[in-house]
Amino acid sequence: MRDQKAAFHQLARELQGLNHVRLVLDAPLACYTRFALGGPAGLLIDAADPVTFSRALSLANSSGLPVAVIGGGTNLVAADEGFPGVILRYTSGRIKREGRRILADAGASLDELVEFAIEHGLGGVETLARIPGWVGGAVYGNAGAYGHSISERVSSVAVTDGATRMEMPAAACEFAYRQSVFKRRKDWVILSVCLELEPADPALLKDTAAKIRSERDAKFPADMKCAGSIFKNLLVDQLPAGLIASIPPCLIREGKIPAGWFLEQVGAKGMQRGGMRVADYHANLIYNAGGGTARELRRLIAELKKRVQDRFGLELEEEIQFLGFFPDEGSSA
């Protein structure tokens, strides 16, 4: 432990001379996640310049310490014990227009990107309004809502592994429902994305976004300590025909069935374990009602998954990401 602490301090000293960098030793991860869960990370590095970030990533990778890169923390569950390593965040939030394209850095707010596009009369991302978090995380998880995902508009993604910067065309990103190549290749860290949009009436775009924001604000208040939906929706083409026949047809949209429907059938609404609670109005929403812990959240998730498995024979898959847990813990802790 003492040697590890010394390693954090040594790395911090090596990074102090870099521009546009912020260092936090023993960083409380609860302050960097929307769930407000998680113990300390040995060292947190915020870098707002791509060259600085790449250098910091390279030094961290060479330190022998565990390394993880995160974004805005809106879809992240950090362990109560924290993370015994280095956390990096690329915090540049630049957004600019080039004709019908928008270039956005990974640290930009996704909702600010939506607003920027609307102001410039560019359509294609307005349905992403009020999805919390950063652009990098949205690309990483192929965020979406109301039948659309960000991947539909991605032209290319700039990434770094700490040594080399690469421009990846959308076809190389392996986008699928809430998936991308970056979930598999965690050594490729997103720096920015280029989006190809369509000219549109700003007033119509603004109206669409306003309606969506109103709906999302009602379900996910800004002060609610949650990550939005916990589980991915189910793809119809991956379900048994007999099960599909038992599901109300009105629930099947864009080839998906809401995970919340299955959860509602097994009595998820209002369930609570410690300080973690399933919303009374949304079976796929878990929030920190006060004093909750990551262990309680994972216990609740495991119970919900078991109920659905026992009733429907389905394995629900989490949308949220986990940090600092042992690999064999899964979601059953």
CA-CA distance, 48 to 313, in Å (whole number)? 46
Please determine, for residue 327, whether its predicted confidence score (pLDDT) is greater than 80. no
pTM: 0.92
153, 277, 319, 331: which is the annotated catalytic residue? 319
92, 156, 229, 331: which is the annotated catalytic residue? 229
Please determine, for residue 60, whether its predicted confidence score (pLDDT) is greater than 90. yes
Please determine, for residue 318, whether its predicted confidence score (pLDDT) is greater than 80. yes
pLDDT of residue 1: 62
pLDDT of residue 332: 29
The residue whose two tokens read 């032209």 is 155
Lowest-confidence pick of 127-136, 158-167, 203-212, 244-253? 244-253
pLDDT digits (tens, 9 = 90+) for 299-311: 999 999 999 999 9
Domains in the chain and their CATH numbers? Answer: 2-90 (3.30.43.10), 95-204 (3.30.465.10), 222-329 (3.90.78.10)
* Encoded amino acid at 177, one letter: Y
Q: Which of these, 194, 189, 226, 175, lies nearest to 35 by C-alpha position?
A: 226
Please determine, for residue 35, whether its predicted confidence score (pLDDT) is greater than 80. yes
Average pLDDT over residues 116-121: 98
**Is 216 designated active site?**
no
CA-CA distance, 227 to 91, in Å (whole number)? 20
Average model confidence (pLDDT) across the chain: 95
Average pLDDT over residues 180-203: 98
**Is 151 designated active site?**
no
pLDDT of residue 326: 62
CA-CA distance, 108 to 116, in Å (whole number)? 11
> 289-319 as b/e, with b when 16 or more CB fall inside 10 Å?
beebbbbbbbbbbbebbebbeeebebebebb
Please determine, for residue 42, whether its predicted confidence score (pLDDT) is greater than 80. yes
Q: Which two tokens stand for residue 105?
A: 């850095």
CA-CA distance, 89 to 35, in Å (whole number)? 18
**Is 178 designated active site?**
yes
Q: What is the rounded end-to-end Cα distance, in angstroms, of the chain?
A: 24
Q: How many CB atoms lie within 10 A of CB 246?
A: 8
pLDDT band for position 331 (cuts 50, 70, 90): very low
pLDDT band for position 242 (cuts 50, 70, 90): confident
In 220-312, which residue ranges form alpha helices assigned H by DSSP? 241-245, 259-265, 294-312
Q: Percent of the chain beyond pLDDT 70?
A: 97
pLDDT digits (tens, 9 = 90+) for 65-89: 999 999 999 999 999 999 999 999 9
- Are 277 and 258 in contact by the 8 Å Cβ rule? The answer is no
pLDDT of residue 254: 87
CA-CA distance, 180 to 139, in Å (whole number)? 8
55, 89, 153, 178: which is the annotated catalytic residue? 178
Q: How many CB atoms lie within 10 A of CB 16?
A: 9
CA-CA distance, 31 to 29, in Å (whole number)? 5
- Are 212 and 219 in contact by the 8 Å Cβ rule? The answer is no
- What single-letter DSSP state applies at residue 280? S
- Are 65 and 41 in contact by the 8 Å Cβ rule? The answer is no
pLDDT of residue 333: 26
Report the chain's C-alpha Rg in angstroms. 20
CA-CA distance, 55 to 19, in Å (whole number)? 11
> 156-183 as b/e, with b when 16 or more CB fall inside 10 Å?
bbbbbbbeeeeebebeebbbeebbbbbe
Average pLDDT over residues 304-329: 89
Lowest-confidence pick of 26-40, 47-61, 187-201, 319-333? 319-333
